[in-house]
Structure 1
Amino acid sequence: MNRLAVLGKLTPLLAALALFVFFSVMHDAFLTWPNIWNIVRQSSVLLIAAMGTTFIILIGAIDLSVGATMTLAAICAITLVPVVGEAGILVGLLVGAACGLFNGVLNAVLKLPSFLVTLGSLFIFQSLGLIVSGGRPIPWTTPISSTLAGGVVFGSFPKIGLWAIGVLVLCALFAKFTRFGQTIYAIGDNERTARMSGIFTTRLKVLTFVLAGAISGLAGILLGIRTFSASPGMGDPFLLDTIAAVVLGGTLLTGGVGGPLRTVLGVLVIVILANGMTLLQVDPFFQVGIRGAVVILAVLITGGRRRVDEIVK
């Protein structure tokens, strides 16, 4: 049984390695430094956004407003930076945290289902983004873009990749070595038991949503800096990709099992798959279906691993 559990936990890593080898054999351009750096760029924002989603799913909740939060935070930051300078970026982060606070209060305090709460807030945040931007793309023309996340370092490594690595390390340390991080796992594993153990589950669930919102806001701001603009809907593609990355990495939708280091494997599977299919010129319509099939397969595998984990316990 232990071997089955270990194999299940290694599945995301094996899948990422298998895809890497497969596309390396199938296309000469895949295993080149320009394409490797391209994969780093493509995965960086997704990885950051997925960190917040990981914490939400770990408490047994779901957040459908990730993309809208990213968009609203980026629009607010890009709108304010020319007026107030770098403080505009801080405002963008606070906007993301406020979005998380809104979701957290409705879910944890008012006991509304996170799925319905964040589905509603998705449209609210989208509407706010349209109002602030006037429904038009906003260019990011300040020099701060090149110093924060634009360009490269160490010769050719994308700066935004450093942000992704930094956020990953901080989130992994937070999840493993802080009391708050450990209570997130406890709440997801069994909220009633956690409450009876003296954990203030309501307050901590709200704070988890706030943390996830701030991380989503950071991801949106970095995306805006990288693309030199913020536009309505810019974060929409990240909604399903963040959830898919968390599930593919092995974090259970029921909560309590998983974490940031697993999510990075899910991100790699998604990005390598998308990058490789593009190089092989797979029809974009088929690409969507293939990615959907991969997510369904991941759910089946993680569901099976949950049963194995329960037997092992």
Structure 2
Amino acid sequence: MYDINKLGKLTPFLAALALIIFFSLMQPAFLTWPNLWNIIRQSSVLLVASMGVTFVILIGSIDLSVGAVMTLAAVCAITLVPVVGEAGIVAGLLVGALCGAFNGILNAVLKLPSFLVTLGALFIFQSLALIVSGGRPLPWTTPVSSALAGGVVFGTFPKIGLWAIAILVVCAFVAKYTRFGQYIYAMGDNERTTRMSGISTVKLKVLVFTVAGLISGLAGILLGIRTFSAAPGMGDPFLLDTIAAVVLGGTSLTGGVGGPLRTVLGVLVIVILANGMTLLQVDSFYQIGIRGAVVILAVLVTTKRGRLDQIVK
């Protein structure tokens, strides 16, 4: 029997290191600053979005609506900016939090499986995003938010990377040093025992999903700033990438093991793999299959076989 904790910590680091060495040898342009700058930009939004998903998976649940929440929050924000100014950004964040609360209430209060709840919510939020945007891309024209998160700082470092680092630090602190974080790990390890110890698992679930929705909303807004637009479907690619990053980082789908700092490694593996294959001009059809195989391998390493039936609770 292997030690899942040791494997979960070591494997993502070795995978990231191996990919860096391989692509550096195969393509000299990989370690150039323009490409590293591109990797930072690509990984920043994914890292932020993955933080919320990390908390959800730590309690043994799943969130399939993250991409749709990102899209809805972004289009709501940019639609409201002409009316209420930069406060529209705050409104977009609140939309994300409300979406998360919606998922949490259906899952925790009505006892519906998180897999089915968030799958249904995905379509609802996608529909709302289409209605709000009119089915067309909206230009991102908010000067203050663009100044805060767009462009570079210190001459070369992307500002959006600083936002990703800040969110990571906050989430890592919450997970390790707060009572909220302790409750999350306890619930993921054994929900029944957590409930019997006097902790309201219903409130905890709702709060976790709400926080995840808020973070997803922020990720969507950062994506809008980075791409200078908010468009229907803009968050769709992040659905599977966020879950893959969390699992690749060593957080178990059954809950209770892992955390934000591990997710960083998963994000790096995802982004480095995609970036390196693009530099090597690997056919996009093959890229999809390779990334899928990597995710399956990560699940085999990080998942406790005896608890697979709890993944979609």
Report deviation, 1:5. 4.7
Report the equivalent of 2:281. Answer: 281
2:89–2:221 contact (8 Å) kept in structure 1: yes
1:99–1:210 contact (8 Å) kept in structure 2: yes
1:145–1:228 contact (8 Å) kept in structure 2: no
CA deviations over 1:81-124 (Å, ceiling 9, x no partner): 12211110000000000000000000000000000000000000
Report the equivalent of 2:75. Answer: 75
Report the equivalent of 2:104. Answer: 104
1:108-147 alignment to 2 at 5 Å?
108-147=108-147
Residues 42, 306 of structure 1: alpha-carbon distance in 2 compared, 3 angstrom cutoff = farther
Letter aligned with residue 160 of structure 2? I
Give the SS at the match of 2:64: coil
Query: How far apart are the structure 1 equivalents of 2:94 and 2:281?
Result: 41
Q: Aligned pairs, how many?
A: 307
Give the SS at the match of 2:48: helix
Report deviation, 1:145. 4.1
Letter aligned with residue 90 of structure 1? V
Residues 174, 4 of structure 1: alpha-carbon distance in 2 compared, 3 angstrom cutoff = closer
Alignment RMSD: 1.5
Identity of aligned residues (%): 82
Letter aligned with residue 44 of structure 1? S
1:5–1:305 contact (8 Å) kept in structure 2: no
1:227-246 alignment to 2 at 5 Å?
227-246=227-246
Residues 216, 3 of structure 1: alpha-carbon distance in 2 compared, 3 angstrom cutoff = closer
2:52–2:213 contact (8 Å) kept in structure 1: yes
Runs of 5+ consecutive residues of structure 2 not aligned to the other structure: 308-313
Report the equivalent of 1:150. Answer: 150
Report the equivalent of 1:90. Answer: 90
Report the equivalent of 1:291. Answer: 291
1:8–1:305 contact (8 Å) kept in structure 2: no
Report the equivalent of 2:311. Answer: none
TM-score, length of structure 2 as denominator length? 0.95
Report deviation, 1:140. 1.0
Give the SS at the match of 2:155: coil
Report the equivalent of 2:29. Answer: 29
CA deviations over 1:7-64 (Å, ceiling 9, x no partner): 4420001100110111011101000111111100000000000000000000110000
1:145–1:226 contact (8 Å) kept in structure 2: no
TM-score, length of structure 1 as denominator length? 0.95
Report deviation, 1:258. 0.5
1:201-240 alignment to 2 at 5 Å?
201-240=201-240
2:105–2:206 contact (8 Å) kept in structure 1: yes
Residues 263, 96 of structure 1: alpha-carbon distance in 2 compared, 3 angstrom cutoff = same
Report the equivalent of 1:310. Answer: none
Report deviation, 1:197. 0.5
Letter aligned with residue 163 of structure 1? W
Report deviation, 1:304. 6.4
Give the SS at the match of 2:93: helix
Report the equivalent of 1:182. Answer: 182
Letter aligned with residue 174 of structure 1? V
Report deviation, 1:302. 1.1
Report the equivalent of 2:270. Answer: 270
